[in-house]
């Protein structure tokens, strides 16, 4: 909702700051019109408002009283009101409503104190002192005109990663920020500070103890993967990457002895065998992937699986034992709600396995085992390829548990993996044959005020995902229900021309779902049906329009059923003139609670 930069160079009296409300393009245009000075270091920020409305003043960076120090900040400083009052009593004035300005003024004060004590500036020390005074979640980056060759960062609960270049170094919330310049990255752990210059990176804890050997890794995708590459939008590109996302997530999972491999496992086989319950924690789309996992894992492994929104889980005293496996699903690996829930689970003695798309992110780092979804970077706010990759990974996890616990025969596991390997081809078939019909349906329904998505069995979480996509990017009211639930209340919403999207891809429940469709039609609903090839002729008798997906094992069907729904939301949003990649009010990675 706003963006800004602060630049520092030798000889500057004050940090050069420029910030603008609105899209990043506003800031870019402003700087092109009126260029900023050359600099040796810079910090930049895009804001998602938490404290104070999105305007030029509240945008970051914020500066110290004398303008010599500037900071940018992600997170929420919970003791900002008290710190602000203390500073106000000392005569400090504030121009913005943000917690970040409080931290900036305080950092200025600390920096001056250090100069008084030692005779020279020490931004690294000042940021560490500041970090010890702040409560809440934060990643802070700071620059000081008196040390124009360094940038200093500190993190507590919010993400921060270093990019290691040649004669230049970078800091970002995420490797995507610098992958165009370097693929070598360094992890910054919880409660660590970092000082970066062109040729040096020093990491310490908040007390100043140097971390001798911070972990480094190489990013396994290219900058081009995070570019549009000829597509009109990232969302369209990423929907078309659904087949590849599934394929890559399955790659190398089966070794020569027919055993399934996870990426990192810090849980011994004995503990895995003892697991008697699974709780999936996740938010949004990732939680719907968890709901799909429940159906498959309970069927294959015969242990109960609960799915819980991470922000609810943490505050309700869930029953967790060392025999509970908590599965944290997250595309970004930085969703604060999921991270906090994971920490809670580990504190209670449960093991945590992460299903994550982002190498080196906080969630996989803090988990006992990791299964990466190798979907490649997902840029559009609406999750698409990550969802199909997440359910694929969840299937792999289910089969892995079945293998460890001896719940399925080896050849049965291998056969299921074979069917999974055929999914990319089938998804591609949907994209190739159904896109035109989806687009026509979307154009016909573009003015609808409300949608009802119905599904049964594994179709239900897919219905939830379809409804979420539509609200998120097209701003249309949409709800999802298990089709059988309609008669218990929601059917009263149906009137002439209500739009119903009915998912009837679970073969054994086709007739029951069609009975529900007939009930809706009898009350005036307009129905878009989704079914498998075998029922293509049948569904035409009931639905006004239909979309077809190939038939698969019933538990694997969601990987196919969701594809036309992603495309449907995309085309509705497009026809309504919405920005499909950056829907209003949303951030790609939700790093606040």
Q: Which residues bind ligand M6R (CB under 6 A)?
A: 283-286, 330-332, 335, 338, 381-383, 468, 472, 589-590
Q: In terms of C-beta distances under 8 Å and separation of at least 24 residues, what long-range contacts does 365-372 make, across chains too?
A: 365/187, 365/189, 366/339, 366/342, 367/328, 367/342, 368/265, 368/266, 368/267, 369/262, 369/264, 369/265, 369/266, 369/267, 370/262, 370/263, 370/264, 370/265, 371/262, 371/263, 371/396, 371/397, 372/249, 372/263
Nearest to 384 by CA among 467, 272, 469: 469
- Give 282 or 448: the residue with its C-beta nearer to ligand M6R: 282
Q: Are residues 43 and 5 in contact, defined by beta-carbon separation less than 8 angstroms?
A: yes
- Give 152 or 580: the residue with its C-beta nearer to ligand M6R: 580
- Which residues make Cβ contacts (< 8 Å) with residue 78, sequence separation at least 6? 135, 136
Tell me the C-alpha to C-alpha distance, in Å, between residue 232 and each of 26, 171, 438: 21, 29, 18
Measured from the CB of residue 369, what is the shortest distance to ligand M6R in angstroms? 17
Measured from the CB of residue 381, what is the shortest distance to ligand M6R in angstroms? 5
Task: Burial-class residue 579 by CB neighbours within 10 Å (0-12, 13-18, 19+).
Answer: middle
Tokens of 337: 């709600």
Measured from the CB of residue 543, what is the shortest distance to ligand M6R in angstroms? 26
Paired strand residues for 526: 499
Taking residue 16's Cβ as centre, other Cβ atoms within 10 Å add up to: 19
- Give 332 or 531: the residue with its C-beta nearer to ligand M6R: 332
Cα 580 from Cα 226, distance rounded (Å): 16
- Give 377 or 455: the residue with its C-beta nearer to ligand M6R: 377
- Give 218 or 585: the residue with its C-beta nearer to ligand M6R: 585
Measured from the CB of residue 569, what is the shortest distance to ligand M6R in angstroms? 9
Q: Are residues 217 and 187 in contact, defined by beta-carbon separation less than 8 angstroms?
A: yes
Measured from the CB of residue 389, what is the shortest distance to ligand M6R in angstroms? 11
Three-class SS of residue 278?
Answer: strand
- Give 332 or 434: the residue with its C-beta nearer to ligand M6R: 332
What is the DSSP code (8-state) at residue 487?
A: G
Cα 133 from Cα 500, distance rounded (Å): 53
Crossing angle, helix 558-575 and helix 242-250, to 10 degrees?
A: 150
Measured from the CB of residue 584, what is the shortest distance to ligand M6R in angstroms? 13
Cα of 388 vs its chain's centroid, Å: 14
Measured from the CB of residue 176, what is the shortest distance to ligand M6R in angstroms? 13
Measured from the CB of residue 61, what is the shortest distance to ligand M6R in angstroms? 26
Measured from the CB of residue 358, what is the shortest distance to ligand M6R in angstroms? 8
Q: Are residues 260 and 399 in contact, defined by beta-carbon separation less than 8 angstroms?
A: yes
Measured from the CB of residue 239, what is the shortest distance to ligand M6R in angstroms? 12
Measured from the CB of residue 372, what is the shortest distance to ligand M6R in angstroms? 13
- Give 253 or 469: the residue with its C-beta nearer to ligand M6R: 469
Tokens of 413: 């596991």
- Give 383 or 505: the residue with its C-beta nearer to ligand M6R: 383
- Give 130 or 464: the residue with its C-beta nearer to ligand M6R: 464
Nearest to 460 by CA among 525, 430, 504: 504
Tokens of 282: 């996740």
Question: Taking CB positions, which residue lies at the least distance from ligand M6R?
Answer: 284
- Give 324 or 332: the residue with its C-beta nearer to ligand M6R: 332
- Give 131 or 473: the residue with its C-beta nearer to ligand M6R: 473
Q: What is the enclosing helix (H) or strand (E) of 273?
A: helix 269-274
């Amino acid at each position: 909702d706003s963006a800004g930069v602060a630049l520092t160079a030798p000889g500057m009296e004050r940090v050069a700051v420029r910030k603008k409300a609105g899209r990043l393009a506003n800031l870019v245009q402003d700087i092109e019109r009126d260029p900023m000075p050359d600099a040796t270091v810079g910090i930049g920020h895009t804001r998602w408002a938490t404290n104070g409305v999105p305007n030029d003043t509240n945008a970051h960076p914020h500066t110290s009283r004398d303008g010599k120090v500037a900071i940018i900040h992600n997170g929420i400083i919970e003791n900002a009101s008290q710190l602000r009052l203390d500073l106000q009593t000392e005569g400090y004035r504030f121009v913005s409503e943000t917690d970040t300005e409080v931290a900036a003024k305080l950092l200025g004060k600390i920096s001056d104190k250090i100069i008084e004590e030692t005779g020279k500036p020490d931004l690294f020390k000042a940021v560490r002192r500041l970090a010890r005074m702040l409560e809440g979640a934060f990643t802070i980056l700071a620059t000081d005109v008196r040390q124009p060759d360094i940038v200093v960062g500190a993190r507590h609960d919010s993400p921060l990663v270093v990019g290691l270049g040649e004669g230049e170094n970078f800091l970002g919330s995420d490797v995507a920020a610098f992958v165009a310049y370097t693929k070598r990255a360094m992890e910054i752990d919880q409660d660590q500070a970092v000082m970066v210059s062109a040729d040096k990176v020093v990491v310490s804890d908040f007390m100043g103890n140097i971390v001798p050997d911070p972990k480094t890794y190489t990013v396994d995708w290219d900058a081009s993967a995070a570019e549009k590459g000829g597509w009109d939008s990232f969302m369209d590109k990423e929907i078309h990457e659904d087949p590849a996302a599934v394929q890559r997530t399955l790659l190398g999972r089966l070794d020569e002895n027919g055993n399934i491999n996870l990426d990192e496992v810090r849980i011994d086989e004995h503990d895995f065998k003892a697991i008697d319950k699974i709780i999936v924690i996740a938010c949004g789309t990732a939680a719907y992937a968890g709901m799909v996992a429940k159906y498959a894992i309970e069927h294959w492994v015969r242990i109960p699986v609960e799915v819980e929104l991470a922000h609810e889980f943490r505050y309700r005293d869930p029953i967790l034992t060392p025999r509970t496996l908590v599965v944290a699903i997250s595309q970004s690996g930085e969703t604060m709600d999921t991270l906090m829930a994971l920490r809670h689970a580990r504190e209670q003695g449960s093991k945590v396995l992460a299903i994550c798309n982002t190498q080196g992110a906080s969630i996989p780092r803090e988990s006992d085992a990791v299964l990466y979804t190798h979907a490649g970077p997902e840029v559009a706010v609406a999750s698409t390829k990550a969802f199909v990759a997440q359910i694929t990974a969840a299937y792999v996890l289910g089969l892995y548990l079945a293998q460890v616990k001896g719940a399925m025969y080896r050849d049965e596991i291998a056969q299921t993996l074979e069917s999974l390997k055929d999914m990319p081809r089938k998804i591609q078939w949907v994209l190739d044959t159904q896109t035109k019909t989806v687009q026509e349906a979307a154009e016909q329904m573009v003015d609808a005020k409300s949608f009802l998505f119905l599904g049964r069995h594994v179709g239900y979480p897919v219905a939830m995902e379809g409804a979420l996509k539509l609200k998120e990017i097209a701003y249309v009211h949409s709800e999802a229900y298990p089709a059988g639930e309609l008669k218990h209340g929601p059917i009263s919403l149906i009137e002439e021309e209500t739009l119903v999207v009915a998912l009837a891809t679970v073969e054994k429940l086709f007739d029951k779902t069609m009975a529900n469709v007939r009930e809706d039609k009898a009350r005036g609903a307009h129905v878009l049906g989704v079914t498998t090839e075998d029922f293509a002729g049948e569904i035409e008798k009931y639905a006004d329009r239909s979309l077809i997906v190939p038939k698969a094992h019933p538990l694997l069907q969601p990987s196919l059923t969701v594809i036309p729904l992603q495309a449907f939301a995309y085309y509705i949003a497009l026809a309504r003139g919405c920005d499909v990649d950056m829907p209003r009010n949303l951030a790609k990675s939700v790093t606040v609670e």
